[in-house]
């Protein structure tokens, strides 16, 4: 698709905050129209992964956890941040699936890539569908995870999405990609 828009250019940057999970920087940019903007804030995150696990009998494995910032419980897929040493999102997805749910999968395939918030964040979310999943391990949550693992039939997940019972946008995206790949929904 042809465009008359120009890419923005970074003229300078300074870090306001750096920590384990994210960095906040303030850039001086030259916008595509030739105007300067200072500051333009960017949140730097590692890439993330989500995996939609489905058992051989058609159950989707979900996690429920309390989301403090939102002030409520959220139904989600297993997933999370790629660790600093991880370069392969598929391996990170398999690790997150096993750690958060105790499930292993027979097959795992990529279903999509989305940008969580490209206006302010620099990272991507890699979405996967895992099939033939079975419970094989004890849970291995990190110190900040308090998760409840549950399963729902594929048809129930579709209903839950239609009824707005799952509201975490990145997980909704991953679920829709997974359901499309399964053939459970059509566009």
- pLDDT tens digits, 59-82: 999 999 999 999 999 999 999 999
Q: What's residue 40's pLDDT?
A: 98
The highest-level CATH class for domain 48-182 is: alpha beta
In 35-152, where does DSSP find H-type helix? Answer: 89-101
As a whole number, mean pLDDT of residues 130-136 equals: 97
As a whole number, mean pLDDT of residues 155-178 equals: 97
Give residue limits of the domains in the chain. 9-44, 48-182
Nearest one of 140, 173, 170, 175 to 47, comparing CA atoms = 170
Distance of CA 2 to the CA centre of its chain: 30
Nearest one of 150, 52, 138 to 93, comparing CA atoms = 52
- pLDDT tens digits, 16-46: 999 988 999 999 999 999 999 999 999 999 9
Q: What is the value of pTM for the model shown?
A: 0.93
Q: Phi/psi at 158 (nearest 5 deg)? A: -60, -45
Q: What's residue 2's pLDDT?
A: 80
Q: Is 90 exposed, middle or buried (0-12, 13-18, 19+ CB in 10 A)?
A: middle
């Amino acid at each position: 698709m042809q465009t008359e828009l120009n890419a923005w250019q970074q003229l300078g940057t300074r870090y306001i905050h750096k920590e384990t999970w994210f960095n906040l920087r303030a850039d001086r940019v030259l916008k595509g129209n030739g105007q300067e903007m200072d500051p333009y804030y960017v949140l730097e995150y590692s890439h993330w992964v989500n995996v939609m696990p489905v058992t051989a009998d058609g159950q989707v494995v979900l996690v429920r956890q309390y989301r403090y910032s939102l002030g409520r419980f959220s139904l989600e897929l297993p997933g999370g941040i790629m660790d600093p040493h991880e370069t392969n999102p598929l391996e990170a997805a398999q690790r997150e699936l096993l750690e958060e749910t105790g499930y292993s999968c027979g097959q795992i395939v990529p279903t999509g890539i989305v940008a969580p918030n490209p206006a302010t964040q620099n990272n991507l979310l890699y979405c996967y569908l895992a099939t033939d999943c079975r419970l094989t391990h004890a849970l291995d949550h990190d110190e900040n995870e308090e998760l409840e693992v549950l399963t729902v039939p594929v048809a129930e997940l579709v209903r839950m999405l239609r009824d707005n019972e799952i509201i975490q946008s990145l997980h909704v995206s991953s679920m829709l990609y997974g359901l499309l790949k399964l053939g459970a929904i059509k566009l």
